[in-house]
Amino acid sequence: MTRLLFVRHGESNASVQRTIGGPRTCSGLSPLGRKQAEALADRLARTHEADRAALIASQYPRAIETAELLAPAIGGAPVFVEPGVGEHDPGPQCDGLSFDDFVQQHGRPSWEDDPHSVTFPGGETLADFQHRVGRTVHRIAAEHEDASALIVCHGGVIDTAFRQLLRLPAVGSFELWTTNTSLTELVRMRPGRWRLVRYNDAAHLEGLPTETARS
């Protein structure tokens, strides 16, 4: 049985600063983000629910930092960096902009219309992003046949994997809001048939604030 465990990275500095933290400007985890990752590491060390899993992270510093904090809890697995599970790339023109500046310059794009339309000028379309993530997730599953992989990635990646593996609409119909450091687990029961075991499991965050207070 092939088992994929997706973890959204801990809270990022970009989220606290309200900026578009693409691969060029991501500066890693906030102090709360590190606490979230440490709480998940403590849980994994205690429950052994990810023992012997291959550890994969996107190329974003916030994902790598989260994975490095988790590694000792699952036996010290090396972190394999896989750019294919990076978040939707906003491109160099938008990467690093504040949310307010982005809206002022480009308006509020619709994420539920044509996935081939331009949402980030100079960046990936949603269709480009979904194709990249889908291709990468299927390759990871093939490379870890009858094994487990712990994939530290991003909310958009988890949304895309959820939709593609369960053969759901590419856009619209429902909304996922994935919590930082939550666990989402899917297992392949047979070729072409995946089972959702859990989504957004964040029991380890009890007692922590939901986000860093913004001034």
Which residues form the catalytic set? Answer: 9, 87
Q: For the residues of the chain, what is the DSSP string, one character each?
A: -EEEEEEEPPPBHHHHHTB---TTT---B-HHHHHHHHHHHHHHHHH-TTTT-EEEE-SSHHHHHHHHHHGGGGTSPPEEE-GGGPPPP-HHHHTT-BHHHHHHHH----SSS-TTS-SSTTS--HHHHHHHHHHHHHHHHHHTTTSEEEEEE-HHHHHHHHHHHTT--SSSS----PPTT-EEEEEEEETTEEEEEEEEE-GGGTTS-SSPPP-
